[in-house]
Amino acid sequence: MKAKFYESTKPNKANNMKEEKEICNECGVSVKFGSGHFVNRVPDLNDPETRLEMGKPFPNGEWICSKCDNENTFQLSEESAEPSITISDLCKIWNELYGENFKNEYRGVYKRITKTI
Ligand SMILES: [Zn+2]
């Protein structure tokens, strides 16, 4: 009884803030122990203000759940998997844009590019 009484006299605001920190700041799901998202949760090292600036829907959340983290990782790996532009891509784009044969028109540049790519 005594412990319960003590609990209830704690300021509610502080309690709520503590609760809200153990959520995913992307989707708001609880990442507390036993929530099913505890194991793969990833800490977000930004402060709430930064998260707010980043447009996070739940800036109080100090965590990102595995689902949202996977989505982020997926986006990143997709970007990095994008092949870098090759000289033949450039020639093709150039031809489409300007109707010129890049290789013939810009022979000097072409040689330099093929050396740097
Ligand atoms: Zn999430």
pTM (two decimals): 0.49
- Find where tokens 């022979």 sit: 107
CA of 18 to the centre of ligand 1 (A): 18
CA of 14 to the centre of ligand 1 (A): 23
* Structural domain includes residue 43: yes
Per-residue confidence (pLDDT) for residue 75, from 0 to 100: 55
pLDDT digits (tens, 9 = 90+) for 66-81: 999 988 665 555 555 5
CA distance 114 to 117: 5
For residue 97, the enclosing domain spans 87-116
Per-residue confidence (pLDDT) for residue 117, from 0 to 100: 64
* Structural domain includes residue 79: no
* Contacts for 46 with CB less than 8 Å, ≥ 6 apart: 54
* DSSP 8-state assignment for residue 86: -
* Structural domain includes residue 30: yes
CA of 61 to the centre of ligand 1 (A): 10
Residue 24's DSSP bridge partners are 63
For the chain (length 117 residues), average pLDDT per consecutive 10?
A: 50 52 95 92 94 95 93 60 75 90 86 77
Q: How many domains does the chain have?
A: 2
* Structural domain includes residue 36: yes
Q: Residue-wise over 106-116: b if at least 16 C-beta within 10 A, else e?
A: beeebeebeee
Share of the chain above pLDDT 70, in %: 72
| Maximum distance among all Cα pairs of the chain, rounded to whole angstroms | 88
**Host H or E run for residue 43:** strand 42-43
CA of 83 to the centre of ligand 1 (A): 29
- Pair 102, 52 in one domain: no
